[in-house]
Amino acid sequence: MKKYLEDYIDKIKELPLKEKYTREDLIIEKFLVDKFNDIEIYYAPHNEYLNKKAKLFIVGITPGFQQMSTAIKTARICIEEGKTLEETKYLCKAAGRFSGSLRKNIISMLDKIELNKIIGINSCSELFEDKDYLLHTISLIPYPVFVKGKNYTGHTPKLIKSDFLMKYVNENFIEEFNKLEDVFVIPLGSAVEEVLNTFIDNGILNENQVLKGFPHPSGANVNRLVQLEKNKEKLKEKIKEYFI
């Protein structure tokens, strides 16, 4: 069952105002959504705002702890400032999506394949700033997932082979995708792409709207720039085909 900010706002309000939360602050029972063996899923409030006007749809695997911390910190500040639920959901999305070095890497990599030039902006950094009306982001699993306490990467267990995790993908991602019109989908890495390929096979997505071969932008993916360089011309051509 999908979880919403309304379900957790009182629990977030109990947290002290802090610049940065630790795992001890947030990886606790009251934020636990579900668990199976070594896999634990926790709540974070930054996949609840939907931008129906978006033309670009960036898809990750699951929020990491840094994104969880940023989103919950933002929600706690919004509560203190008396923001409405809808304002809070948008601000959590804007602050939390791929926050930290991940966002920086995504921007740099998208600029390298000249997405910015093709859609008519100076840099893809604008997608996270004043041009964010062009962008929608989501994770296949909308909540942070940890395996043995560490950020889940989509590979151990393999996402597409895990019935437990795919339940969250099928219950959340498809519903959200169907609310968007004419979006260009950018999967972050092979684990996301593999899942989207099954949706293409089932007629849920069209192959021409998915940017295949874009590496996962995590700093842990030490080969991401080599992979990007190898695929660069193919990626640029795919973007041009879609937008031009």
Spell out the residues 6+ positions from residue 137 whose beta carbon is closer than 8 angstroms to its own.
57, 58, 59, 60, 93, 97, 98
Q: Where are the domains of the chain?
A: 5-243
Structure tokens at 98: 């791929």
d(CA 48, CA 46): 6
Give Cα separations from 213 to 72, 89, 103, 190, 229 (angstroms). 32, 31, 18, 8, 11
Helices 5-13 and 85-96: crossing angle in degrees, nearest 10, is 80
pLDDT for the residue numbered 2 = 85
pLDDT for the residue numbered 244 = 85
Amino acid at residue number 220: A
- Alpha-carbon Rg of the chain, whole angstroms? 17
pLDDT for the residue numbered 47 = 92
Q: What SS3 class is residue 147? A: strand
pTM: 0.94
CATH number of 5-243: 3.40.470
Q: What is the mean pLDDT of each run of 10 residues along the chain (244 residues)?
A: 92 95 97 97 95 96 95 97 97 94 96 97 97 96 96 94 96 91 95 96 95 93 93 97 92
Q: Cβ distance 37 to 88 under 8 Å? A: no
